């Protein structure tokens, strides 16, 4: 034990002895005053034995305080748990003293002499109990009271925060907490695995230990919240800290990521709740965007599906690069209204042209392009829900393929410089109509990519976290309603990416491509959906199969157990950006063949000639099984 700690405990013990002595003597006088008219002053009747009484009471109470850990606690962070420990120790000491005094009140023959310790009125023990309890609680909680005065206004209940990460982000956060006297946080300490930082102080706040001591530190210092201040920490570390904090019953929040940090500074209002992206177990990919400013500045950009998850995020991120105008198109009036209001009010960007329209309206789309002359197009509009599109195949193909074809032709006619289409990993060896429709769109754009000056670029995504209708949002709703959480299959795997990752990839691909490329993001290993469901339940502070049941529903129509990001006819090649790869076709079809097949497919869709449609799809997709589309016949 350190000398300073030993001295502190010694002072506390001496102080407690004074409290115990005072409480007992006061209880005699109070009991005597109450009964003075009947029997006089009680204290005088027991004055010959008071030394023995006090010695027994001090020994019993101090031993109980030691047993209940009263001297191991940090009282400037005292909590309800600490108060309970005081009540338990004082209560048990009174019970033990009652038994001891009863035993000693019986005549005992010690060394030929009869010894009797008179049993004073039992009400004195009750009075002593109340006074001791009150004084010990006041003495201990006064330390916390004065500690809180240091950080905020009197009477405000602040949250005791443990900061994980004693680096630049952690330092900024603590500085902000101390500077903002009215903030809701009290910084208690840091945890960091850097041995050089252990026991150091940052703005007077100590680095208490390594990350392995998280649970012990939470209990010892009565932590209310954990704040993860490690913007560049690996995904597995963030996941481990989050789940351990939740397991300890403590709220866990995080500082902004490197991408979210503004001007290299971290502010309290940027602290957010831990999200699903923090428990993926991989580090979120931050695409570097050094050349984007020159590409988008003072240009007119058109975004289809602008009210959707990715389309709206592209709108937000584009504003940083100074486009002269944004043409935002969506067939959902409500979604378009929401993103328009956000861009105007939150970002103070007024050069917006909101257009409620269906991309399949050829004349309307043509007039929009000719009127506003966009130089860059982000085509994010698509039908994406696999089971729903299985039941509505015509809608999927007409919107995702023919709608894309309409926009591409207009883009060529109006000399758009760059046209970026968002595709999906479901277009790789597709087993469902949605995947087929996106594959057709990919093939069409590749077939026309070198025909004129417009550069057509394709970006292939995995599943996007927290997009509309994503598995994450579905799991959230199921957990919030008490379960069960429905998982299709225990071995179901998916490539997952965040909305910012998807948006950055689309923007980066826009300036990379020369026409006809298919870009994919290096998303690491696919995530097991059962693991995702399990971790999300834990993120909500519950236990799978105890608080929330997990059931298996079986794969839905058209679903694959594991998605792929490239087909057998493609090879991945590195690009000049670390996390972006190009999926290059090995040339199994030439452009003329592709164009002929696509022309036939379009006619067959228009005439509902499904038998010949299946034959042509089979030419493009060798694994295509027309039996899965029996309902179209």
Q: Which band of pLDDT confidence, cut at 50, 70 and 90, is reported for residue 33?
A: very low
Does 115 share its domain with 233? Answer: no
Residue 514 included in any domain: yes
**What pLDDT is stored for residue 419 in this prediction?**
95
- Over residues 582-618, the pLDDT tens digits come to 888 766 667 778 888 888 888 888 888 878 888 888 8
pLDDT exceeds cutoff 70 at 254: yes
pLDDT score for 53: 80
Give the confidence band of 414 by pLDDT, cuts at 50, 70, 90: very high
Q: Are 598 and 444 in contact (CB under 8 A)?
A: yes
Q: Lowest mean pLDDT of 115-124, 141-150, 234-243, 418-427, name the range.
A: 141-150
Q: How many angstroms separate the CA atoms of 558 and 549, rounded?
A: 26
Indicate whether 338 belongs to any domain: yes
Q: pLDDT by residue (tens digit) across 188-215? A: 889 988 888 887 888 878 888 888 888 8
What pLDDT, in 10s, does the model give residues 120-141? Answer: 777 888 888 888 888 888 888 7
Co-location of 184 and 134 in the same domain: no
Q: Of the ranges 301-305, 315-319, 472-476, 559-563, which is most confident?
A: 301-305
Backbone angles phi, psi at 120, to 5 degrees: -70, 170
- Section 28-43 average pLDDT: 54
**Does residue 264 surpass a pLDDT of 50?**
no
**Maximum alpha-carbon separation in the chain:** 122
What is the Cα–Cα distance from 534 to 247, expressed in whole angstroms? 13
User: What integer pLDDT is reported at residue 237 of this predicted model?
Assistant: 78
* Nearest by Cα to 498 from 523, 530, 526, 533: 523
Cα 539 from Cα 247, distance rounded (Å): 9
Residue 113 and residue 207 share a domain: no
Q: What is the pLDDT of residue 626?
A: 65
Model pLDDT, residue 273:
62
Look at residue 499 in the predicted model and tell me its pLDDT.
82
What is residue 155's predicted lDDT score, i.e. its pLDDT? Answer: 45
Map 218-276 to HEC letters: HHHCCCCEEEECCCCCCHHHHHHHHHHHHHCCCEEEECCCCCCCECCECCHHHCEECCH
* Distance in angstroms (rounded) separating the CA atoms of residues 375 and 300: 6
Domain match, 509 and 575 both: yes
- pLDDT in the model for residue 262: 38
pLDDT digits (tens, 9 = 90+) for 151-173: 544 445 577 888 888 887 888 88
- Whole-number CA gyration radius for the chain: 35
Q: How many CB atoms lie within 10 A of CB 619?
A: 15
* Most trustworthy range by pLDDT among 71-80, 229-238, 508-517, 568-577: 508-517
The average confidence (pLDDT) of the chain is 79
Cis peptide before 484 (omega within 30 of 0): yes
Q: Of the candidates 571, 588, 605, which is a domain's last residue? A: 588
Q: Is residue 281 one of the residues assigned to a domain? A: no
For position 531, what pLDDT does the model report?
83
**Residue where a domain terminates, one of 244, 274, 304:** 274
Which of 191-195, 383-387, 541-545 has the lowest average pLDDT? Answer: 541-545
Instruction: State residue 150's pLDDT score.
Output: 54
Q: Categorize the per-residue pLDDT at 37 as very low, low, confident or very high, splitting at 50, 70 and 90.
A: very low
Element (H, E) at 552: strand 550-552
Residue 36: CA count within 13 A, CB half-sphere: 7
Beta bridge partners of 109: 114
342 and 270 together in one domain: no
CATH number of residue 438's parent domain: 3.40.50.720
Alpha-carbon dihedral angle through residues 551, 554, 556, 561, given to the nearest 10 degrees: 110
- Quick check: 175 pLDDT over 90? no
Q: Given this model, what pLDDT does residue 501 score?
A: 79
- Helix, strand, coil: what percent of the chain each, to 5? 50, 15, 35
What does the pLDDT read at residue 325? 92
The answer on 234 and 134 residing in a single domain is no
Residue 36 has pLDDT above 50, yes or no: no
For residue 184, tell me if it sits in a domain.
yes
Q: Is the pLDDT of residue 304 over 90?
A: yes
Q: Tell me which residue of 320, 313, 295, 259 sits closest to 508, measured CA to CA.
A: 295
Boundary-marking domain end, from 151, 172, 196: 151
Name the residue among 408, 425, 395, 332 with its Cα closest to residue 366: 408
Domain membership flag for residue 594: no
What is the structure's pLDDT at 628?
57
**What pLDDT is stored for residue 194 in this prediction?**
85
> 429-460 as b/e, with b when 16 or more CB fall inside 10 Å?
bbbbbbbbbbbbbbbbbbbbbeeeebbbbbbb
Of 46, 11, 538, 578, the closest CA to residue 248 belongs to 538
Q: Is residue 325 part of a domain?
A: yes
Check whether residue 128 and residue 204 sit in a common domain.
Answer: no
Question: Which of the pair, 370 or 8, is modelled with greater confidence?
Answer: 370
Choose the weakest-confidence range: 52-56, 262-266, 562-566.
262-266
Do 438 and 555 have their domain in common? Answer: yes
Give the count of alpha carbons within 13 A of 623, CB side only.
Answer: 13
378 pLDDT exceeds 90? yes
Q: Taking residues 399-414, what's their average pLDDT?
A: 93
Domain annotation covers residue 620: no
Distance CA 263, CA 284 (A): 20
pLDDT at 373: 94
416/351 same-domain check: yes
d(C-alpha 106, C-alpha 203), whole Å = 61
Of residues 47 and 24, more confidently modeled: 24
- Whether 633 is in a domain gets the answer no
**Residues 147, 164 within the same domain:** no
The pLDDT, as a whole number, for residue 607 is 82
Name the domain count of the chain: 3
Residue 84 has pLDDT above 90, yes or no: no
- The pLDDT assigned to 338 comes to 93
Tell me: do 127 and 180 sit in the same domain: no
Q: What is the pLDDT of residue 469?
A: 66
- Whether residue 35 is found in the same domain as residue 168: no
Angle between helices 3-34 and 123-151 (to 10 degrees): 130
Q: What residues make up the domain containing 133?
A: 3-151
């Amino acid at each position: 034990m350190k000398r300073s700690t030993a001295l502190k405990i010694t002072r506390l013990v001496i102080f407690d002895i004074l409290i115990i002595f005072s409480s007992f003597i006061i209880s005699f006088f109070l009991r005597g005053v109450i009964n003075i008219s009947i029997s006089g002053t009680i204290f005088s009747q027991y004055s010959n034995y008071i030394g023995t009484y006090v010695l027994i009471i001090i020994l019993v109470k101090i031993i109980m305080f030691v047993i209940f850990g009263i001297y191991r606690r940090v009282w400037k962070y005292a909590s309800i748990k600490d108060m309970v420990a005081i009540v338990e120790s004082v209560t048990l000491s009174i019970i033990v003293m009652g038994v001891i005094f009863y035993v000693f009140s019986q005549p005992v023959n010690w060394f030929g002499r009869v010894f009797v310790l008179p049993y004073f009125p039992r009400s004195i023990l009750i009075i002593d109990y109340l006074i001791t309890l009150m004084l010990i609680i006041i003495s201990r909680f006064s330390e916390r009271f004065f500690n809180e005065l240091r950080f905020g206004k009197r009477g405000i209940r602040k949250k005791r925060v443990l900061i994980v990460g004693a680096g630049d982000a952690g330092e900024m956060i603590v500085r902000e907490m101390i500077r903002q006297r009215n903030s809701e946080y009290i910084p208690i300490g840091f945890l960091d695995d850097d041995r050089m930082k252990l026991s150091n102080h940052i703005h007077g706040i100590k680095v208490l230990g390594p990350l392995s001591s998280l649970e012990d530190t939470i209990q010892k210092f009565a932590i209310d919240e954990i704040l993860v201040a490690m913007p560049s920490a690996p995904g597995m570390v963030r996941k481990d800290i989050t789940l351990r904090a939740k397991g300890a019953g403590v709220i866990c929040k995080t500082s902004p990521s490197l991408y979210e940090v503004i001007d290299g500074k971290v502010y309290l209002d940027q602290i957010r709740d831990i999200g699903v992206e923090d428990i993926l177990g991989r580090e979120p990919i931050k695409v570097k965007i050094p050349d984007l400013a020159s590409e988008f500045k003072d240009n007119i950009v058109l975004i289809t599906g602008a009210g959707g998850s990715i389309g709206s995020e592209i709108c937000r991120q584009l504003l940083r690069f100074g486009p002269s105008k944004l043409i935002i198109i969506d067939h959902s009036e409500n979604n378009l209204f929401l993103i328009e209001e956000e861009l105007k009010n939150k970002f103070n960007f007024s050069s917006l042209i909101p257009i409620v329209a269906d991309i399949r309206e050829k004349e309307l789309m043509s007039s929009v392009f000719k009127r506003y002359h966009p130089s860059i197009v982000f085509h994010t509009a698509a039908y994406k829900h696999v089971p729903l599109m299985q039941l509505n195949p015509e809608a999927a193909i007409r919107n995702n393929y023919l709608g894309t074809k309409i926009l591409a032709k207009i883009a060529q006619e109006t000399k758009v410089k760059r046209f970026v289409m968002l595709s999906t990993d479901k277009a790789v060896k597709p087993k469902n109509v949605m995947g087929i429709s996106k594959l057709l769109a990919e093939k069409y754009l590749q077939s026309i990519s070198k025909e004129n000056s417009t550069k057509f670029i394709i970006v292939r995504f995995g599943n996007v976290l927290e997009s509309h209708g994503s598995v994450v949002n579905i799991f959230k709703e199921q957990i919030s309603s008490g379960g069960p959480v429905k998982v299709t299959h225990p071995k179901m795997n998916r490539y997952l990416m965040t909305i910012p990752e998807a948006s950055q990839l689309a923007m980066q691909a826009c300036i990379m491509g020369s026409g006809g490329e298919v870009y994919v993001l290096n998303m690491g290993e696919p995530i097991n959906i059962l693991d995702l469901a399990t971790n999300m339940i834990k993120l909500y502070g519950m236990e799978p199969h105890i608080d929330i049941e997990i059931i298996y529903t079986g794969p839905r129509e058209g679903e694959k157990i594991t998605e792929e990001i490239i087909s057998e006819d493609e090879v991945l090649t590195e690009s000049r950006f670390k996390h972006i790869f190009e999926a290059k076709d090995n040339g199994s079809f030439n452009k003329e063949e592709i164009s002929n097949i696509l022309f036939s497919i379009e006619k067959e869709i228009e005439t509902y000639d499904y038998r010949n449609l299946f034959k042509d799809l089979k030419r493009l997709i060798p694994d295509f099984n027309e039996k899965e589309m029996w309902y179209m016949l």
